[in-house]
A and B are shown apart, each in its own frame.
Chain A
Amino acid sequence: MKKTGAEIFIDCLKKLGVKHIFGYPGGVVLNIFDVLYDDKDLKLILTRHEQGAVHAADGYARSTGKPGVVLVTSGPGATNTVTGIATASMDSIPLVVFSGQVSTMLIGNDAFQEADIVGITRPCTKYNYLIKDVNDLSHIIREAFHIATTGRPGPVLVDLPKDVTSNKASPLCSDEVKVRSYNPTYEGNKWMIRRAALEIEKSKKPVIIAGGGVILSDASAELKTLAEVAGIPVTMTLMGLGAFPGSNKLSLGMPGMHGTYYANKAIQESDLLIAIGMRFDDRVTGKIAAFAPHAKIVHIDIDPTSIRKNVRVDIPIVGDAGRIMRDLNKAIQKETKKQWNEVRKAWLKQINTWKKQYPLSYTYSDEVIKPQFVVEKIYEITKGNAIISTEVGQNQMWAAQFFKYDKPRSLLTSGGLGTMGYGFPAAIGAQLANPNRTVIDIAGDGSIQMNIQELATAVIYKLPVKVAILNNHFLGMVRQWQELFFRERYSYSNLDVVPDFVKVAEAYGAVGLRATKPDEVEPVIKESLKVKKPVFMDFVVDWKEKVYPMVPAGAAIDEMLFEEKEGKKEKKKLKAVK
């Protein structure tokens, strides 16, 4: 019996194991929404903005490893997804976004609510489709999921003209997907792996830089084995935080612009850099010409274009991070019998000296709330057992510095695109996928206003996400740059009027809490965790606070600026992070 495109669409998603779609309706997708109306197994989470839907699907995907699914209407519905798609694309997050489109015979006529979304998203999707015939629907849906989730993952968009959803076809759903021109490499070259193993054996000062690829490949166990067996310290890029336990003594925290001194120093001094599932972003490398000058570089990545794009590479290994590390671990254990700890002793001791010399720190005050203190308290109170999402700006960097991520998929942050407004909807998506976990968005007062409407979504679906707003009444990171590099000319970075976030929360039926003094921080966090509702925590923090250490743009990563200690004012004490 033939079925309509809309029915085939829903059947296919269910066969593929989809439980939740994030979306928003409109004219051309009403056929699909009509089928969804009666469906008991497939739930649509109605966000309040299509951008929110995509970020929520992204948070769902990052926190679970499963693809996030989005359904929106044509024209403005579709264009509203672009920032979300680009965010996922930069961070290699598997999403399948279905956009409605005007009927095939109207395409190209500037029809009402027509947008060439396939053209618009071509550079920010892994692949995209315009379906012109209902008979292609089921295999394209399968192909879209296949492409989104394999190789280097990424967002795929499928444009669905209205008539394709109403026309009928036999619902043949083949399980087999084969795209002749798409064959990602998973197995690493054996010879290169052997060479890497030999270099590890020879090296006196090795460092691993782990990126988001380790998390995407679910390869944390392999990474831990590699690091611990061979005694190699590990630094993690923003996207890689959690790939290796942040509280492990081999962890160096994050490298780069706002990374730790000891991570940057270790990279600069190392004789062997093992980069895994990372792409040498400029925020990590600083001045390329001065980056890791003494190191041989082993680069493991599933995407050949990442290799030698920014830095020279001595041993490139293309493939899946987990499989390659498994092979590498075998090669190391087989070929080297030395006592690694003995060999690495001097190096690890040197690193510990750097750690003691310049730990991550800030100046505590018991008069004003320091934003770092809030993040530290969240870490303490949740015992590190929470899913943290972030917005972008200072909040993001403090969340990366002062919370130690011990498990993969516990930090959701827009690394590549740096999208303000990402964290809150991402937290909502993650909470839906992880109903029993604590999910906290660490936010700035600027960023939270970019998708604040999603509070309605959190309330209606009873998703008790917590938002910790580090409220400095400024676009803090912009202000920081203006203070340091533009003679304190705060051009358009003062937010002047910030809404009363407690009242905003209450207006939506959520809970609002406020802390203005350091001793109120802990009670507010604890209270928020008790409440089974979404909570906005408004932390009124010291607006003058800056993210340190900092590598000025264009400098080498060991040329770091540190916090200037303001004389010796009483009550201020340097507080090191344990």
Chain B
Amino acid sequence: MRHTISVLVENKFGVLSRVSGLFSGRGYNIESLSVGETTDPQISTMTVVTRGDDRIIEQITKQLNKLIDVIKVVDLVEVDHVEREMILIKVAPKQENKAEVLRLAEIFRGRIVDSSQRTYTVEITGDEKKIEAFIELMRPIGIKELVRTGRVAMAREGVKPK
């Protein structure tokens, strides 16, 4: 099963490689990883999306907790939370499809962030389903390039881990 794990870490030199090294060294996979500072510049949050049975996920959270630089680990599967990912997608629609791209972008509350003679670059934010749905719709139209931020997630306020 897929889990989104939020990891609060000391914002120290090398901490990213400690976390990613833990996954590669023990053969756990990372589906996505995003990192950024919190309001306290000494602390960063990492959001890791990973996959595994209960035993593996238990090991992953324990192993993360064991890293000296890790302050807190929350497996968001256990708590009510919100998740978002952003993508930038560059499409090269044929003339007759151009309007369709604009229409779909609007339906998905996306934004056209760049356009050229032959391409549009669309920004879409949302949960995984929405992102996947948009990508599927763009596929027949002609995707030239796609970049994803990876998932970020946050527990809802007042919700304690089960």
- Contact between chains at A126 and B18 (CB < 8 Å): no
- Contact between chains at A127 and B68 (CB < 8 Å): yes
Interfacial residues of chain B within 46-105, with CB under 8 A of chain A in the complex: 55, 58-59, 62-63, 65-66, 68-71
Bound-complex Cα distance A303 to B62 (A): 9
Interfacial residues of chain A within 114-128, with CB under 8 A of chain B in the complex: 118-119, 122-123, 126-127
Cβ proximity bits A105-147 to B, threshold 8 Å, 1 near / 0 not: 0000000000000110011001100100000000000000001
Chain A residue contacts of B55, Cβ below 8 A: 308
Interfacial residues of chain A within 297-311, with CB under 8 A of chain B in the complex: 303-305, 308-309
Minimum CB distance partner of A303 in chain B: B66
A179 within 8 A of B: yes
- Contact between chains at B21 and A304 (CB < 8 Å): no
User: With A122-B21, A123-B25 in contact, is A182–B68 under 8 Å at CB?
Assistant: yes
A357 within 8 A of B: no
The one of B9, B18, B62, B69 that contacts A305, using a Cβ cutoff of 8 Å: B62
Closest chain A CB from B32 CB (angstroms) = 22
- Contact between chains at A147 and B59 (CB < 8 Å): no
Cβ proximity bits B19-32 to A, threshold 8 Å, 1 near / 0 not: 00100010000000
The one of B10, B18, B65, B70 that contacts A122, using a Cβ cutoff of 8 Å: B18
Closest chain B CB from A510 CB (angstroms) = 41
Chain B residue contacts of A122, Cβ below 8 A: 14, 17-18, 21
Chain A residue contacts of B59, Cβ below 8 A: 305, 308-309
The one of B18, B65, B68 that contacts A147, using a Cβ cutoff of 8 Å: B68
- Contact between chains at B70 and A181 (CB < 8 Å): yes
Minimum CB distance partner of B8 in chain A: A181
Greatest chain A CB density within 10 A among B21, B59, B62 is at: B62
Bound-complex Cα distance A122 to B66 (A): 14
- Contact between chains at B63 and A123 (CB < 8 Å): no
The one of A119, A179, A304 that contacts B68, using a Cβ cutoff of 8 Å: A179
A180 within 8 A of B: yes
Chain A residue contacts of B9, Cβ below 8 A: 181
Bound-complex Cα distance A308 to B66 (A): 15
Chain B residue contacts of A180, Cβ below 8 A: 10, 71
The one of A119, A179, A308 that contacts B17, using a Cβ cutoff of 8 Å: A119
Interfacial residues of chain B within 1-47, with CB under 8 A of chain A in the complex: 9-10, 13-14, 17-18, 21, 25
- Contact between chains at B17 and A304 (CB < 8 Å): no
Count of A residues near B, CB < 8 Å? Answer: 17
Chain B residue contacts of A123, Cβ below 8 A: 21, 25
Interfacial residues of chain A within 16-70, with CB under 8 A of chain B in the complex: none
- Contact between chains at B66 and A305 (CB < 8 Å): yes
Chain A residue contacts of B71, Cβ below 8 A: 180-181
Greatest chain B CB density within 10 A among A123, A147, A180, A181 is at: A181
Closest chain B CB from A366 CB (angstroms) = 52
- Contact between chains at B13 and A130 (CB < 8 Å): yes
Bound-complex Cα distance A140 to B63 (A): 23
Cβ proximity bits A71-85 to B, threshold 8 Å, 1 near / 0 not: 000000000000000
Bound-complex Cα distance A122 to B69 (A): 13
The one of A118, A130, A179, A304 that contacts B66, using a Cβ cutoff of 8 Å: A304
Closest chain A CB from B8 CB (angstroms) = 9
- Contact between chains at A308 and B25 (CB < 8 Å): no
User: With A122-B17, A130-B13 in contact, is A304–B25 under 8 Å at CB?
Assistant: no
Bound-complex Cα distance A182 to B59 (A): 18
Closest chain B CB from A94 CB (angstroms) = 15
Greatest chain B CB density within 10 A among A180, A182, A305 is at: A305
Bound-complex Cα distance A54 to B10 (A): 30
Chain B residue contacts of A147, Cβ below 8 A: 68
Interfacial residues of chain A within 156-214, with CB under 8 A of chain B in the complex: 179-182
Closest chain A CB from B73 CB (angstroms) = 11
Bound-complex Cα distance A122 to B9 (A): 17
Closest chain B CB from A130 CB (angstroms) = 7
User: With A118-B14, A119-B17, A308-B55 in contact, is A126–B68 under 8 Å at CB?
Assistant: yes
Chain A residue contacts of B25, Cβ below 8 A: 123
Bound-complex Cα distance A517 to B24 (A): 53
Bound-complex Cα distance A126 to B55 (A): 23
- Contact between chains at B10 and A181 (CB < 8 Å): yes
- Contact between chains at A304 and B65 (CB < 8 Å): yes
Bound-complex Cα distance A303 to B59 (A): 11
Bound-complex Cα distance A123 to B18 (A): 8
Closest chain A CB from B42 CB (angstroms) = 10
Bound-complex Cα distance A304 to B59 (A): 9
Chain B residue contacts of A179, Cβ below 8 A: 68
Chain A residue contacts of B63, Cβ below 8 A: 305
Chain A residue contacts of B68, Cβ below 8 A: 126-127, 147, 179, 181-182
Closest chain A CB from B62 CB (angstroms) = 4
Chain A residue contacts of B13, Cβ below 8 A: 130
Closest chain A CB from B9 CB (angstroms) = 8
Bound-complex Cα distance A147 to B13 (A): 18
Chain A residue contacts of B65, Cβ below 8 A: 304
Bound-complex Cα distance A180 to B42 (A): 12
Bound-complex Cα distance A180 to B25 (A): 25
Contacts A127-B68, A180-B10, A304-B65 known; list 20 others, CB within 8 Å: A119-B17, A122-B14, A123-B21, A126-B68, A130-B14, A180-B71, A181-B9, A181-B68, A181-B69, A181-B70, A181-B71, A182-B68, A303-B66, A304-B62, A304-B66, A305-B59, A305-B62, A305-B66, A308-B58, A308-B59
Q: Which 8 A-B pairs have the closest CB atoms?
A: A305-B62, A181-B71, A127-B68, A304-B62, A182-B68, A123-B25, A305-B63, A305-B66
CB<8 Å pairs between A and B, sample of 20: A118-B14, A119-B17, A122-B14, A122-B17, A122-B18, A127-B68, A180-B10, A181-B10, A181-B68, A181-B70, A181-B71, A182-B68, A304-B62, A305-B59, A305-B62, A305-B63, A305-B66, A308-B55, A308-B58, A309-B59
